Amino acid sequence: MKKSQVSITAVVVAVLAGILGSWAGGLIFQKPSFDAMLVEAAQEINKTCPFLVDRDTRLDGTLAGPGMKFTYTYTMINYLREELDSTAFRDYMVPQIVNNVRTHPEMARFREQKVTLVYDYKDKLGNLITSILVTPEDYE
């Protein structure tokens, strides 16, 4: 990821951390399910979407579920699918995304709850470029 992508990732992670913190505090009074918390996290992030991650990438939104799954949908706003080498793009992104999930303290609850993360990348016309699936086995 580019430096600006890392900083936007930090913003998304911070939003998630705040929601997770308020969710944990709410455990004193009630016990919401973790997948309900994922729905709340998606709703909060989506309030800020779409937003530019960098000059080429826009986060369009997130989706919780089904179950313990959380999806990020990005658009490569300056590219058509045919203009990108999807294999090279994927090979570049996978290690960075997995490292982010493994190392960010704010992602700890996702790791603990064994959430599967999906990163969908589309071209400027909405055509899927690649979908990156990060399972608990990938980040443990």
pLDDT digits (tens, 9 = 90+) for 39-96: 999 999 999 999 999 999 999 999 999 999 999 999 999 999 999 999 999 999 999 9
Determine the average pLDDT of the residues in 26-51.
Answer: 83
Residue 29 pLDDT greater than 60, yes or no = no
What's the chain's average pLDDT? 85
Residue 28 pLDDT greater than 50, yes or no = no
Residue 27 pLDDT greater than 50, yes or no = no
Residue with tokens 């939104």, as numbered in its chain: 61
Residue with tokens 């992508």, as numbered in its chain: 5
pLDDT confidence of residue 13:
54
CB 62 within 8 A of CB 41: yes
CA dihedral (39, 11, 98, 88) positive or negative: positive
Compute how many other C-beta atoms are within 10 angstroms of the C-beta atom of residue 15: 17
Domain boundaries, the chain: 3-139
CATH no. of 3-139: 3.30.300.250
